[in-house]
Structure 1
Amino acid sequence: MICCRILELRKEKSRDAARSRRGKENFEFYELAKLLPLPAAITSQLDKASIIRLTISYLKLRDFSSHGDPPWNRDEQNIVKTLKAPPQCRSTMNLVQDVFECHQGTHILQSLDGFAFALSNDARFLYISETVSIYLGLSQVEMAGSSIFEYIHSHDHKELAEQLGLNVPKQSTSLSSFSSPSSATSDEGSSSAPNPTRSSTPIMDRVSVMSPNPSTGYDRCFCIRMKSTLTKRGVHFKSSGYRVVQIVAHLRPQYTYSSASSSSSSSSSSSQKQLPPLLGLVGMAIALPPPTITELIIDNDMFITRLSPHLKITYCEPRLSDMMDMPSEDLINKSLYDFCHAEDLKKLNKAHSDLLNKGQVLTDYYRLMNKHGGFVWVQTCATIICNAKNVDDQNIIAINYVLRFVFHRSFIF
């Protein structure tokens, strides 16, 4: 009896100690969550794993902003002092300007047709604006600290890795990468040979840090497909459950002091100058209009064309003649490549390839040749439209934005 009583007391004491330890732990997590730059309504609903993930992401973001080139050290003390100054010390115009600067970031995000984001050098989100919920229906809190590859179409992983300069090591062939004999024989017509591309380890766990080719520079512009809860499934065969966005970004190098740059410049010319390590990438994702859009406001500097999958023009709006010395009838049944400037053919070919693979694309700026000399700068947002009854019946609807009217009219190319 005495032994049983002692065991019960020990169990009760252990339970009390565990309860006290959990209480202290929950309190520390609660205090840590309050330090995050998020509304209290959000931090009060976070679990422990999310608090740790967001805390690590926030600490890395502070390092990303202060140690990058150029450093982002915004001086907020001057703004606060100005706002707290007596009314007679400041004019109405200065007060309006100070209030605007306090909310400048919010105004910029609201004016964008997309969302802003920052990636670490291992392709994880350090920051993503809350406007991502407007265009993709995704949560800012859930994406922060996660790998961008988790939200990208699997067929776009390779292109994204190349743009970021990430080396994805090929996983060694193992038993886990082979299909079992039962699964190989269960599918009729499937090959029994091992598939080396099938990997049990996700790509976000196999990437290294960013190390792009120096010749490519720091600027990036490309289109990828991102997960979207707002895209209706079954509407578009290329991007079901995804939305095409154009990424306009800049790789952010680490800040180097003048002493380090001077010492490197004084080194021998035979040794190649080392580029500073990259802290990550900062960019903006421009969401392209969904294929289901039925109404679109056409401005005076826009015109619509319909093309075949081979970029053969089948229809062009007559308003083209208001922007170029070329009637729309001259484009019918001709290839778009015939009117593209020779130096921009590579851009157009890349956009054409992305369009066929992803179903939608926003091209770079390219030049269309004018009939009587000169050219106009154009940017095109093209979408593949499929016939619901016949998948093979495809057309391309292109919205063309003319940036400026005819350049170099006296030159004939």
Structure 2
Amino acid sequence: MNSSYQESKQKPSKSQAQQRRQMENFEFSQLAKELPLARAISGQHIDKTTMVRLATAYIKLFNTFGQSRRAYSPADYYYGSDSAWTTNHLDLLDGFFAILDRQGDVLYISETISIYLGLSQVEMTGNPLVDYIHEQDVTCFNSALNYCDRNWPQMCNVRIKSSLTKRANKDAVRASPGYKVLRLEITMGLNSSTRMIACYPMPTPVLSTVTIPFNSFVIITSIDLRITYADEKAQQMLKSYYSTDGNIKGMSYYSLIDVADTEVISKMHFYIFNLGAYKTPYYRMILNQTSTTFYVESSIFRHTSVSSKQFIDSVTFVSLVL
């Protein structure tokens, strides 16, 4: 009798267990409302383990950005510490935005990642970003992450997992199926323990899908960067004194670059084989048969077409004049 009486005291009744579950579910539902997620997402069913992971990331985010509320200044807005700096601002980016802690874990990532990569904001928050980066690009990413500071931001081009690449144009042979190439612009947050990253997906490397701004020109080269095509604007700006008619077709792209910036193109030439797409930092090109130079920023795409059972590689430069 005594043992059965003690067991009955230790074991909660069904009504008590049910009441505890209801209280627990209520607390988790309240927690979901406080998470840095769109209401449409937080209102969906999220398992409790995921909820704890998201809440932990949110606490870290609050500790970094939510401790003080100073008067508004342009610097506050730029570095993300102003109280009015919300996800509405992040939605205006032509891409998506992420905040990482010192270990590289995602404290925040904007919901627009689902548009560009098909990945989930819920899935990524609280997990290391390197888990989604192609293994061959992790070293490049870590280098940019560790060497950036407030006055010296870093940029890198990396492949990140995507569930949308299955919809890619079948005529383009992709170097890395299941990944998309992104340009990451990385800067330090409010302190050395955070990194703020603006992520810009590169367009599909098929020229017909790329928008050409009015202040840009197009050059297409073979895989060894020998020029095979240049539009009219490129021909006018880059007429070369190395040829009798001033035509740049047939020349090496390197010969049009200021010697001090050839390393930019050399680095691109190396990465384009693996990435398939690349965006350069600023570099200088030689203007109109003179020693005068001008700055450009190029979006570069490697395209592989199939003709008569042969693979034909080309590299397309869409260069924005600064």
Q: TM-score, normalised by structure 1?
A: 0.64
Distance in 2, matches of 1:399 and 1:132, equals: 25
Distance of 1:343 and 1:231 partners within structure 2: 37
Q: Give the drift of 1:229.
A: 2.0
Closer, same or farther: CA 111–326 of 1 in aligned 2, 3 Å = farther
**Contact in 2 for aligned 1:309/1:356 (Cα 8 Å):** no
Separation (CA, whole Å) in 1 of partners of 2:181 and 2:187: 19
Partner of residue 164, structure 1: 145
- Report the alpha carbon displacement of residue 301 of structure 1 after superposing the two structures with TM: 1.8
Indicate how the Cα distance of structure 1 residues 138 and 388 shifts in structure 2: closer, same or farther if over 3 A, else same: same
Q: Say if 2:306 is the partner of 1:372.
A: no
* Contact map agreement 2:64 2:190 (CA 8 A) in 1: no
- Tell me what 2:276 maps to: 359
Q: Which amino acid aligns with 2:181?
A: V
How do residues 88-127 of structure 1 correspond to structure 2 at under 5 angstroms?
A: 108-127=89-108
Verify: 1:401 aligned to 2:292, yes or no. Answer: no
Indicate how the Cα distance of structure 1 residues 35 and 373 shifts in structure 2: closer, same or farther if over 3 A, else same.
closer
Go from structure 1 to structure 2 and tell me whether the alpha carbon gap of 1:65 and 1:18 turns closer, same or farther (over 3 Å shift). same
Q: Quote the residue 2:78 is aligned against.
A: none
The answer on whether the counterparts of 1:301 and 1:323 sit within 8 Å (CA) in structure 2 is no
Letter in 2 for 1:395: S
- Contact 2:87–2:110 at 8 Å: present in 1 too? no
Aligned with residue 320 of structure 1, among 211, 234, 249: 234
1:283 and 2:212 are equivalent in the alignment: no
Does residue 131 in structure 1 map to residue 131 in structure 2?
no
SS of alignment partner, residue 353 of structure 1: helix
In 2, the alpha carbon distance for the partners of 1:8 and 1:315 equals 86
Alignment-derived partner of residue 257 in structure 1: none
Give, as a single letter, the amino acid of the residue that structure 2 aligns with 1:58. Answer: Y
- The answer to whether the 8 A contact 2:148-2:154 is kept is no
Distance 1:295 1:34, change over 3 A: closer
2:220 aligned residue: 306
Matched residue, 1:252 = 189
* Matches of 2:268 and 2:118, distance apart in 1: 26
Aligned mates of 2:252, 2:51 — CA distance in 1? 55
Deviations 1:131-186 (A, max 9, x none): 22222222222221121012211211122122223xxxxxxxxxxxxxxxxxxxxx
Name which of 227, 230, 233 aligns with 2:161. 227
Cα distance change of structure 1 residues 317 and 335 upon mapping to structure 2, 3 Å threshold: same
Q: Give the aligned residue type for 2:290.
A: H
CA contact (8 A) 1:320 1:326 kept: no
Note if 1:63 corresponds to 2:75. Answer: no
Deviation at 1:11, TM superposition (A): 10
Change over 3 Å in CA distance of 1:75–1:293 after alignment to 2? farther
Residue 296 of structure 2 aligns to a residue in which SS? Answer: strand
Residue 23 (structure 1) shift: 2.7
Query: What percentage of aligned pairs have identical amino acids?
Result: 30
- Pairing of 1:74-89 with structure 2 (within 5 A): none
2:238/2:256 contact within 8 Å kept: no
Contact 1:136–1:243 (8 Å) recurs in 2: yes
- 1:13–1:321 CA distance, 2 compared to 1 (3 A): closer
Tell me, in whole angstroms, the C-alpha distance in 2 between the residues paired with 1:65 and 1:380. 34
Q: Distance in 2 between matches of 1:134 and 1:74?
A: 34
Structure 1, unmatched stretches of 5+, are: 77-100, 166-211, 255-277, 404-413
TM-superposed CA distance for 1:369, in Å, is 1.0
Classify the secondary structure of the residue corresponding to 2:28.
Answer: helix
3-state SS of paired residue (1:393)? strand
Aligned twin of 2:304: 386
| Alpha-carbon distance between aligned partners in 2 of 1:322 and 1:16, rounded to the nearest angstrom | 83
Distance in 2, Cα, partners of 1:40 & 1:320: 49
Confirm or deny: 8 A CA contact 1:246 1:285 kept in the other structure. Answer: yes
Q: What is the TM-score normalised by the length of structure 2?
A: 0.81
> Is contact 2:284-2:296 (8 Å) kept?
yes
Residue 152 of structure 1 contacts residue 224 of structure 1 at CA under 8 Å; is this kept in 2? yes
CA distance, structure 2, for counterparts of residue 139 and residue 244 of structure 1: 18
Greater Cα shift, 230-239 or 374-383: 230-239
Residue matched to 1:267: none
Judged with a 3 Å threshold, the aligned counterparts in structure 2 of structure 1 residues 360 and 295 are, in CA distance, closer, same or farther, namely closer
| Cα displacement string for residues 246-291 of structure 1 (whole angstroms, at most 9, x for unaligned residues) | 111112363xxxxxxxxxxxxxxxxxxxxxxx21201201111112
1:326 shift after superposition: 4.8
Offset at 1:315? 1.2
Kindly report which structure 2 residues correspond to 1:11-22, keeping only aligned pairs within 5 A, or say none: 13=12, 15-22=14-21
Gaps of 5+ in 2: 73-81
Q: What is the rounded CA distance, in whole Å, between the counterparts of 2:273 and 2:218 in structure 1? A: 19
Q: Residue 173 of structure 2 corresponds to which residue in structure 1?
A: 236
Determine the C-alpha separation between the residues in 2 that align with 1:344 and 1:398: 16
Corresponding residue to 1:344 among 261, 264, 270: 261
Q: Is the 8 A contact 2:203 2:210 kept in 1?
A: no
- Rounded Cα–Cα distance in structure 2 between residues aligned with 1:323 and 1:152: 38
3-state SS of 2:306 partner: coil
